[in-house]
């Protein structure tokens, strides 16, 4: 069983993170990226430790697959 989804995602210095309307936007001096986040997943960004945590909204099999 994979535990990749349970690990926080570390954000390097110089990268800005914005979470809005089911999307995550990352910007740095090298460019930017906007990604859609499935509605079954919840993202939480902690600016103090510079990490993103992903959590499941339910325990369905398809949701767990997206989380991993």
Helix (H) or strand (E) holding 63: helix 61-67
Q: Which among 31, 24, 2, 28 has a CA at the least distance from the CA of 14?
A: 28
Question: What local confidence, expressed as pLDDT, does residue 45 receive?
Answer: 94
The CATH H-level superfamily of 4-67 is Ribosomal protein L6 (3.90.930.12)
Query: Does the pLDDT of residue 59 top 60, yes or no?
Result: yes
Helix (H) or strand (E) holding 19: strand 16-20
- What's the pLDDT tens digit per position in 1-46? 467 888 999 999 999 999 998 899 999 999 999 999 999 999 999 9
pLDDT score of 2: 61
Residues with Cβ within 8 Å of 14's Cβ and at least 6 positions away in sequence, in order, are 28, 29
Whether the pTM exceeds 0.85: the reply is no
Per-residue confidence band for 67, with pLDDT thresholds at 50, 70 and 90: confident
């Amino acid at each position: 069983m994979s535990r990749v989804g349970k690990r926080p995602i570390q954000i390097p210095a110089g990268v800005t993170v914005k979470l809005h309307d089911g999307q995550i936007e990352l910007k740095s001096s090298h460019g930017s990226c906007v990604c859609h986040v499935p509605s079954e997943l919840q993202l939480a960004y902690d600016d103090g430790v510079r990490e993103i945590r992903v959590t499941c909204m339910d325990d369905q099999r398809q949701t767990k697959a997206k989380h991993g």
